Each structure stands twice: as structure tokens, then as C-alpha cells.
Amino acid sequence: ILNVEQSPQSLHVQEGDSTNFTCSFPSSNFYALHWYRWETAKSPEALFVMTLNGDEKKKGRISATLNTKEGYSYLYIKGSQPEDSATYLCARMDSSYKLIFGSGTRLLVRP
Amino acid sequence: KAGVTQTPRYLIKTRGQQVTLSCSPISGHRSVSWYQQTPGQGLQFLFEYFSETQRNKGNFPGRFSGRQFSNSRSEMNVSTLELGDSALYLCASSSGQPGGNTIYFGEGSWLTVV
């Protein structure tokens, strides 16, 4: 993996469904993995910052895991709600202090 | 406390002109970084400043420049604007220390070049 890749590109689910997205990234020179939630016309909202292999973080119905050895992170949303509709971005930080973003997963939750 | 503030929010410029965008970071944050969002490219890193020094620069032409002041406020400048510079420019602030510090984004400045 040379770049940060996210899948799927978009996802449509029904309210109440649980869903998950994948972020793959280069595992070398890894410092941190950031997850953001971005709604149209708003600023990206920081969800999680993870640094250690095996890290698991949770914020309400949203949780994330990190595997730095194989270079991937999963974001889970339990019981999706229409207000969860947004683009979810992951970004990898290395020693250069810059975030390299994936192209995002666009989630639409139908009522 | 106040979040990251960017001004102006929207602006229209003509090809060949130059533009300056401003960013006020969260109080106490010493790192400010800039990103460009275009439909085809996603979020691309422009540069990052820490305590008035540029620590890193992305792959953008020299027409893109920036600076940071002693109060951590930052400006970015784009000279000789081209149509392809039309984009959302996002500023982000953090403590600037390595590791797991949260990086907070502003709402961005929408630039349209005509």
C-alpha cells in the first residue's frame, strides 16, 4: 500500500443498520491514524486519533480499531441514524507532521 | 473555547490575481497546517508551520506560500492565480507535538478563480 485507501467509496444503509468502513495505509514510518466525520458546509469533525497497534476507541455508537502491522483501521457505526450521514475520512500521519487523507467513504442513512 | 477560524469564507478572484487567506488557530496551539480540497484530488497537504517555522511542505508550486506570526495566526498566499486553484482551502491547528494529538479543522475558505 503506497497511499491511504478507503472502502467502500459510498454506502447507503437503512436507519438502524450497523455498518463499517475500512482504511488501509502504509505501515512504515507510522505515527498516528486519524478519523474525521465531515458534513457538507461544516468543518471536518475529529472522531479518533489512534497510535498503538491494537488500539480500540469508542465514542457513543461509533468505534474504531487499528492494526499498524498490517496497515488498516476499521470504523464501525452501530445502529445508524440519519444524522450519521456524512463523509468519513481517515488520514495517516508520519514523522513529517502532515496528514495524508484517503478519499473518504460517503455514508447515507435512509430513515 | 473558540475553534479554528478562517477568513474570508468565500471569495472570487480573476486569473492572474493573487489571494491571501487567513487562519486563527485554537488558543494555545502552535501548529497550523493548510490543505486544499478539490473534487478530483481530495484533501491535499500544502504546508505546516510550527512556532513561525515551516516544518513541511507538500507538492505544490512555488505560487503557494505561507507564513505564521508570533501569535500563531497563519496566512497562505497564492500568486498568479489559475483556474485550477479554485478549491476549498482548509486550515488545521494542533499542539504540534508528535504522536496522538487531535488536529482541529476550520470551516475553510472557498476560492473561485474566474
pLDDT tens-place string over residues B82-110: 999 999 999 999 988 777 789 999 999 99
B13 burial class (0-12, 13-18, 19+ CB within 10 angstroms)?
middle
Q: Do residue A97 and residue B3 have CB atoms under 8 angstroms apart?
A: no
DSSP letters for A40-108: TTSPPEEEEEE-STT-EEEETTEEEEEETTTTEEEEEESS--GGG-EEEEEEEE-TTS-EEE---EEEE
For residue A62 the three cell numbers come to 461509533
Looking at residue B1, its pLDDT comes to 61
Sequence-ordered list of residues with C-beta below 8 angstroms from that of A9, at least 6 positions apart, any chain: A103, A104, A105, A106
Average pLDDT, chain B: 94
Cβ atoms within 10 Å of B39's Cβ, excluding its own: 8
Q: Do residue A100 and residue B96 have CB atoms under 8 angstroms apart?
A: no
CA A26, CA B79: separation in Å to the nearest integer?
A: 34
Which band of pLDDT confidence, cut at 50, 70 and 90, is reported for residue B41? Answer: confident
Q: Do residue A91 and residue B101 have CB atoms under 8 angstroms apart?
A: no
Nearest to A44 among B56, B98, B105 (CB): B105
- What is the DSSP-derived secondary structure letter of residue B86? -
Which band of pLDDT confidence, cut at 50, 70 and 90, is reported for residue B42? Answer: confident
Q: Do residue B42 and residue A102 have CB atoms under 8 angstroms apart?
A: yes
Indicate the SS3 state at residue A83. Answer: helix
Looking at residue A29, its pLDDT comes to 85
Sequence-ordered list of residues with C-beta below 8 angstroms from that of B98, at least 6 positions apart, any chain: A31, A95, A97
Give B58-78 pLDDT, tens digit per residue.
Answer: 999 999 999 999 999 999 999
Max distance between CA atoms of chain A, in angstroms, equals 42
The owner of cell 508551520 is B49
Q: Do residue B101 and residue A49 have CB atoms under 8 angstroms apart?
A: yes
Q: Do residue B104 and residue A46 have CB atoms under 8 angstroms apart?
A: yes
Looking at residue A95, its pLDDT comes to 81
Name the closest residue on chain B to residue A43, using Cα atoms. B107
B→A contacts (Cβ < 8 Å), by residue, are: 3-4, 31, 33, 35, 42-45, 48, 50, 55-56, 58, 90, 92, 96, 98-108
CA B33, CA B58: separation in Å to the nearest integer?
A: 11
How distant is the Cα of A46 from the closest Cα of chain B, in angstroms?
7
Nearest to B45 among A32, A49, A100 (CB): A100
A22 burial class (0-12, 13-18, 19+ CB within 10 angstroms)?
middle
Average pLDDT, chain A: 94
Give A78-106 pLDDT, tens digit per residue.
Answer: 999 999 999 999 999 988 888 999 999 99
Task: Name the stretches of chain A with pLDDT < 70.
Answer: 1-2
Looking at residue A2, its pLDDT comes to 64
Which band of pLDDT confidence, cut at 50, 70 and 90, is reported for residue B113? Answer: very high
Q: Do residue B102 and residue A42 have CB atoms under 8 angstroms apart?
A: no
Nearest to A34 among B45, B48, B103 (CB): B103
